[in-house]
Amino acid sequence: MTNHGDMPSTSLPSARDDGEPEGLANEIRGELAVAGLPVLPPDHDVRPQQASGVSVEVDEGSVWVSWKISSPLSEASQRAFRVGAYRPDSPDRLDAHPAMLHWLAVKRALTEALTAILRSLGYGVEADADEYRPGELLVSARTPGPHWRDPAVPPLAGSAGYSPGVRVRLLTGQFAGSVTTIATRTYSLSARGAPFRYSVGHPDGEGKLDVAPEDITLAEEDT
């Protein structure tokens, strides 16, 4: 068993950021916070009384992301390490005090989670990029592409059916161009997919109007 930072190598594509590192770091902090993770402030100093969380640091133009474990787990693991409560030559380095093993399990799990979240967002992620920063992830700028903040618009919007209350625009008939609201939707009992008929509020304000899915689209107000 070696120091806390030692983690098994993970095969990930090499990626480095050529943009503004401080801006990228702030962007990453925001994304991780939105995901519900506790993000430590810039230039933090993890001390025993502080909570664990995600560290996003800029060092020599590169952005590094890691999970910092605070007390009491970190304290117990560090003490076990200081007193040599492990066998460095044991198979898989598993012959160690439970505090060290649990610390490593938490570190691995959270690092894998951070990798999955960042890659889902399109960021480049590289593990073990620097032997002096074990257990940290080197993160580069997002690859241009769709983002979760993008509005849900056609052609994907409506694929599973618009929900009641959604505003739509009529495309055909005497009321073409009118904006109304979905009242109900009817699905086929024998086929999966989008509804085969909608009932929408009548454009003249009285009653309902039955329309086919191809005769409506999402109104601009909902995009």
Domain spans of the chain? Answer: 21-142, 167-222
Dihedral angle, C-alpha 157, 163, 165, 170, nearest 10 °? 50
Model pLDDT, residue 108: 94
Model pLDDT, residue 7: 35
Distances (CA, A) of 39 to 44, 71, 107: 10, 17, 15
Report whether pLDDT(16) > 50.
no
Q: Which helix (H) or strand (E) holds 190?
A: none
- Summarised one tens digit per residue, pLDDT across range 113-131 is 999 999 999 999 999 999 9
pTM value surpassing 0.75: yes
Report whether pLDDT(90) > 80.
no
Residue 95 β-bridge partners: none
Model pLDDT, residue 12: 32
Q: Are 125 and 117 in contact (CB under 8 A)?
A: no
The SS3 of residue 112 is helix
Q: How confident is the model at residue 1 (pLDDT cuts 50, 70, 90)?
A: very low
Pair of tokens at residue 99? 């505090």
